[in-house]
Amino acid sequence: MFVIKRTKDNPILVPTRDHYWEAHSTFNMSTVKSLHFESRKQFIEPKEEWERYGCEDPRVTFFEGRYYIFYTALSKFPFEAEGIKVAVAVSDNLKQVDERHLVTPFNAKAMTLFPERIDGKVTAIFSAHTDTPPAKMVIVQADDIEDLWSQKFWKKWYENIDKHIIDPRRAEQDHVEVGASPIKTKYGWLLIYSHIEHYFHSSDRRPQFGIEALLLDLKDPYKIIGRTNGSMLVPEEPYEISGHVSNIVFPSGAILNGDILTIYYGASDTTTCSARVSISDLISTIYAKTKSHWCFKRFEENPVISPKGNSWESKATFNPAAIDLKGKIHILYRALSGDNTSTIGYASSIDGVRINERLSEPIYVPREDFESKKIEGGNSGCEDPRLTKIGNNLYMCYTAFDGIGPPRVAVASIKETDFLARRWKWKKPRLITPRGVDDKDACIFPEKIKGEYLVIHRIGTDICADFLTSLDFKKEMVDKCIRIFGPRSGMWDGTKVGITAPPIKTKSGWVLLYHAVSEIHHTYRVGVVLLDLKDPTVVLARSADPIFSPEMLYEKEGIVNNVVFPCGMIVRDELLYIYYGGADKVVGVATMELNIIINALNKKVG
C-alpha cells in the first residue's frame, strides 16, 4: 500500500497577467531538478512552420550531456490529427534553444527520452495516433539520437509499429499518454502516465482522467513488471475540477529526492500542481516480487466458515465481527436462512485462523418489530455486526432491517462475563439512528474522545461521526453526520465507502479500515485511513490503493459477486487479522503486518 498527498501550496504555478504568453494557463510542466521559482520567461516559442500554432506539453530529459525537450508541435488550425506531431528542442544549458527538429512524420504526442541508453540504444517512449484512435503507447530505439528526427528512420520504424506497442489500457475505449520521463530504480523503470477511461466512448459518459504508474524491465522496457491497479490521483480539488478544461489531472514531470517522488501535473489545463509519494512504498506495492507483503494475505484454508444445514445458516454465513478475549478470538457472523432472515452465529479460534468451535444455534436473533420480517421471503433481521468492548460490557452495533423501511443502526449490549460464559443475556436493542434515513456500517469507538463517546456510521455514500454524552440510547441517539470522508470518483473507491471494524489505536493515530465500492464493476475492496488521535473526524492519511480485493473464487462468486467485506479486526504480535465476508456467502481470514500499514500512512510525503 502507499499514500499520495498533494502539496499544501498547490497550485504551485498559476497564470499571471504580467506576461501575455502565460496570462491564461500555466500547466503540464516538466523539470529535471527540484524547483524554486525565481523568474519566468518563454523558452520554447513557435518559430517553424510545423509549430506555427503552438508548442505544448514539454518533457525534458538530460541525456549524454545535453537537454532534450520533446513537445507537441501544432501546425494546423483548426487543430486536426495531421497537424499534431512531436518535435524536439535541444539545449546545452536550458538558457537557450540550440537546435530544434520535427520528430514524427505522423500524428503523435507525449514523447520523452529514457535518461540513459538501454542495451546500447537511445530509447524513447511516446503515444502514437493520439488523435486518430486507436491510440498506442509505443517505444522507439535507435543507434543515434539524430535518428529520432530522421524521416528515413521513421518510415522503416512505422512499417512495424505494432511490434513496438506497450498497452496498459484496461478497456478498448480507454486512452493512455506518457507522463513524466522514466525514472530508473533498482527494480525497473518507473513511468508515471495518464490513464483516461472512456476517452473514446460513444456514450455521454465523461472521460475520467487519472494518474497511474508502470514499472518496466530495466533491460527490456517493453516488458511491464508492475503497475498500479487503478488511478492513484484523480480530480478532486477545486483547482482540478474547474478550469480551462475541467476535471483533469495530467502528469508531465517527476523528480526523485531520496525516497520521495514528486509528481508534477497540470490541473484542468490551467495551473501546475504537485503531489508526493514514497517511491519505496509505491514500487513495493506494484512490483510482482514484493507486492504480496504490501497487502493482506489470505489464510490458505479459507473459507473458514461456510453455510450448512437447512435452517438458520443454510444460505450464507458472512460479514463477521471479531474480538480477542481471554486468549481466544470470538467471531460473531451474520447467518442467512432460506427465507432470507439474518441472525448472528458464533464461532471461536485460538490461533486466529482455524475455527475450534462453532455453535449449532444462533446467539442473537431478531426480537423487535424494527427487525422483524414484513415481506415474506424478503431480506430482514440483524445484519453485519461490529463489536466494541467498553468497560465490562460488549456493545454490538448491527444493521436492523424489516424489509420495508430504510436500514437503521441498532445497538445491543451484554456483560463480558455473560458473553464468556455463553449466557446470551443481551440487553434490549435500541435503534440509535433516525427514522427514514438509510444509515448503517456503524461502530462505537473503544474509548472516549474528549469525554464523549464517538459513533462512526454511514449515511448514503459517506462515513460520518457523531458524539454522544452517554451510551444510554433511551435518552440519546445519533442525529448528526459529521462527515469524515467519502468516495473518490474515478478511483477504486468511487461509489461509496463504509467502515469495516472498530479502529485500532496506535501512537500515530487511529487506524481505520474501510470498504468501498467501485463505479464500473461495483467491486467491494478494502482501504485504510489514519485518523487523528485527539479528533478522529480528521483524516491524516488515506491509502491511494486498495489493500485487499476479491481474487479467489469464493470472493468473486456468491450471492453478491466480487465482494470482500470485513466487520472484524484484531491485532496479535504486530499482525493485523481481518475477518471478512466473501461474496456475501462465506467467511475468510486474512493478515498483514501492522507496521507496514502504519509506516505507509505515517510517512511525511505531503
> Does residue 289 sit in the same domain as residue 352?
no
Q: Is 189 left (phi over 0), alpha (psi -120 to 50) or beta?
A: beta
The pTM of the full predicted model, rounded to 2 decimals, is: 0.93
- Asked if residue 377 lies in contact with residue 368, where contact means CB atoms within 8 angstroms, the answer is no
Dihedral-angle region of residue 327 (phi above 0 means left; psi in -120 to 50 means alpha; beta otherwise): left
Neighbouring residues of 102: CB distance < 8 A, sequence distance ≥ 6: 48, 50, 51, 73, 85, 86, 87, 149
Q: Distance of alpha carbon 389 from its chain centroid, rounded?
A: 31
**Mean pLDDT computed over 518-537:** 95
Please give the share of the chain, as a percent, with pLDDT higher than 90.
90
Q: What pLDDT sits at residue 606?
A: 66
pLDDT confidence bin for 35, thresholds 50/70/90: low
Domain termination site, one of 250, 272, 294: 294
Q: Are 182 and 215 in contact (CB under 8 A)?
A: no
- Under the banding of pLDDT at 50, 70 and 90, the label for residue 27 is confident
Alpha carbon distance 270, 287 (integer Å) = 34
Residues 290 and 326 in one domain: no
- pLDDT (average), residues 518-527: 93
What does the alpha-carbon distance between residue 72 and residue 58 come to, in Å, rounded to a whole number? 7
| pLDDT over threshold 70, residue 207 | yes
**Shared domain check, 375 and 307:** yes
Average pLDDT of the chain is 95
Residue 487: how many CA atoms within 13 Å on its side-chain side?
22
pLDDT at 33: 67
Say how far apart CA 423 and CA 583 lie, in whole Å. Answer: 32
Q: What is the dihedral of CA 14, 109, 257, 594, to 10 degrees?
A: 100
Q: What is the mean pLDDT of residues 170-195?
A: 94
Q: What is the pLDDT of residue 75?
A: 97
Owner of C-alpha cell 530495466: 218
Phi, psi of 556 (to 5 degrees): -100, -20
Cα angle value 91/92/97 (rounded, 5°): 30
The parent domain of residue 429 ranges over: 297-602
CA within 13 Å, CB half, 562:
11
The neighbouring-strand residues paired with 297 are 591
Regarding whether 218 and 113 lie in a shared domain, the answer is yes
- 232: number of Cβ within 10 Å: 26
Q: What is the DSSP string of 60-84?
A: EEEETTEEEEEEEEE--SS--GGGE
Same domain, 574 and 596: yes
Terminal-residue alpha carbon distance, the chain: 16
Q: What is the mean pLDDT of residues 540-567?
A: 98
For residue 605, the model assigns a pLDDT of 79
Q: Do 273 and 414 sit in the same domain of this protein? A: no
SS3 content of the chain, % helix, strand, coil (to 5): 10, 40, 50
Beta strand 462-468 with 482-485: parallel, antiparallel or unpaired?
antiparallel
Return d(Cα 223, Cα 187) in angstroms, integer: 13
- pLDDT value at position 172? 85
If you count DSSP H runs as helices and E runs as strands, how many of each does the chain have, helices first? 6, 38
Domain count along the chain: 2
- Taking residues 483-500, what's their average pLDDT? 96
> What is the C-alpha to C-alpha distance for residues 326 and 445, in angstroms, rounded to an integer?
21
Domain boundary among 278, 294, 310: 294
pLDDT band at 205 (very low <50, low <70, confident <90, very high): confident
Largest CA distance in the chain: 87
Question: Does 183 share its domain with 286?
Answer: yes
Q: How much is the pLDDT for 187? A: 96
Q: Is the same domain home to 464 and 483?
A: yes
Tell me how far apart the alpha carbons of residues 125 and 196 are, in angstroms, rounded to a whole number.
Answer: 18
Q: Please name the amino acid found at residue 70.
A: F
Residue % of the chain over a pLDDT of 70: 98
What is the average per-residue pLDDT within 389-406? 97
Asked whether residue 347 carries a pLDDT value surpassing 70, the answer given is yes
The DSSP string of 216-261 is E-SS-TTSEEEE-SS-SB-S-SHHHHSSSSSS-EEEEEEEEETTEE
Residue 472 has pLDDT above 80, yes or no: yes
Q: Domain ends where: 253, 273, 294?
A: 294
> Which residues 6+ apart lie within 8 Å of 176 measured at CB?
127, 135, 137, 167, 168, 169, 193, 194, 195, 196
For the domain that residue 310 is a member of, what is the CATH number?
Answer: 2.115.10.20
pLDDT of residue 133: 79
Residues 371 and 225 in one domain: no
Phi, psi of 602 (to 5 degrees): -95, -5
123-157: per-residue pLDDT in tens? 999 999 998 878 899 999 999 999 999 999 999 99
Average pLDDT score over residue span 253-281: 96
Give yes or no for residue 19 having a pLDDT over 90: no
Residue 83 in this model has a pLDDT that exceeds 90:
yes
**Residues 122 and 215 placed together within one structural domain of the fold:** yes
pLDDT surpasses 70 at 65:
yes
- What residues are paired with 131 via a beta bridge? none
Per-residue pLDDT of 226-261, as tens digits, reads 999 999 999 999 999 999 999 999 999 999 999 999
Q: How confident is the model at residue 292 (pLDDT cuts 50, 70, 90)?
A: very high
Q: What pLDDT score does 451 carry?
A: 96
Q: What is the pLDDT of residue 84?
A: 97
User: Do 254 and 330 fall into the same domain?
Assistant: no
Which contiguous run of DSSP H or E holds residue 328?
strand 328-336
Is the pLDDT confidence value at 555 over 90? yes
Q: Check whether residue 372 and residue 393 sit in a common domain.
A: yes
Distance CA 273, CA 263 (A): 8
pLDDT at 202: 60
